[in-house]
Amino acid sequence: MIQVGDTLPQHTFMLRQKGEASQPGTDDLFAGKKVVMFAVPGAFTPTCSQAHLPGFVVQADALKAKGVDSIICISVNDSFVMEAWGNASNAEHITMLADGDGAFSDALGLAKQTGTFGGIRSVRYAMIVEDKVVKHLAVEEAGKFEVSSAEAVLAAL
């Protein structure tokens, strides 16, 4: 599993914003930037939609006031789903990043197999990344939502 002090692996993502598709890489998203990235097991799922993403929507200005250049939500969903979820959640200040096949989550050591529920998914976590290096990592225990909230990340900045 990735640890504090490790550099994020190189990866190319799928991203849809305002109906336009792009394929940003790790360097595009993280090089020379202070980024808060949080991962959810699935878009439109209960805890993710009712607590995790909304917390970051509400706290976006406070995070940016602490020097955060961008906020990224990542999930093992396709880019169409991530764009729709972002739109439905008023997440215009959050980059809704698709890890469609789970390869990035797996490379971080933060993937889990859910079988027929949804296959490979990400565990729930939040991290602070500066210039591609992990500075803070908070991984939730299965079924919990405590250490990866927007408020917890704000306290860690």
What band does 93 get if pLDDT is binned at 50, 70 and 90?
very high
Whole-model pTM: value is: 0.95
pLDDT digits (tens, 9 = 90+) for 25-80: 999 999 999 999 999 998 898 788 888 999 999 999 999 999 999 999 999 999 99
Strand 111-113 and strand 120-122: the pairing is antiparallel
Tell me whether residue 102 is in a domain.
yes
Tell me whether residue 85 is in a domain.
yes
Mean pLDDT across 8-37: 96
- Tell me: pLDDT of 142 over 80: yes
**For residue 122, what is the enclosing H or E element?**
strand 120-122
Residues designated as active site: 48
What pLDDT sits at residue 16?
96
Amino acid at the residue 132: K
Q: Are 147 and 22 in contact (CB under 8 A)?
A: no
* Least confident residue range of 3-17, 86-100, 114-128: 114-128
Question: 78: helix, coil or strand?
Answer: coil
pLDDT digits (tens, 9 = 90+) for 94-120: 999 999 999 999 999 999 888 777 778
Give the burial string for 30-61 (b: 16+ CB within 10 Å, else e): beeebbbbbbbbbbebebbbeebbebbbebbe
Tell me whether residue 10 is in a domain.
no
Tell me whether residue 1 is in a domain.
no
* Total count of domains within the chain: 1
Choice between 24 and 19, residue whose per-residue pLDDT is larger = 24
CATH for 105: 3.40.30.10
| Encoded tokens for 65 | 């006031």
Tell me whether residue 26 is in a domain.
yes
Q: Are 110 and 122 in contact (CB under 8 A)?
A: yes
Dist. CA 123–CA 102, nearest whole Å:
11
What pLDDT sits at residue 137?
98
Q: Are 63 and 154 in contact (CB under 8 A)?
A: yes
Length of the chain: 157
What pLDDT sits at residue 75?
96
What pLDDT sits at residue 67?
97
Residue 72's domain spans which residues?
15-156
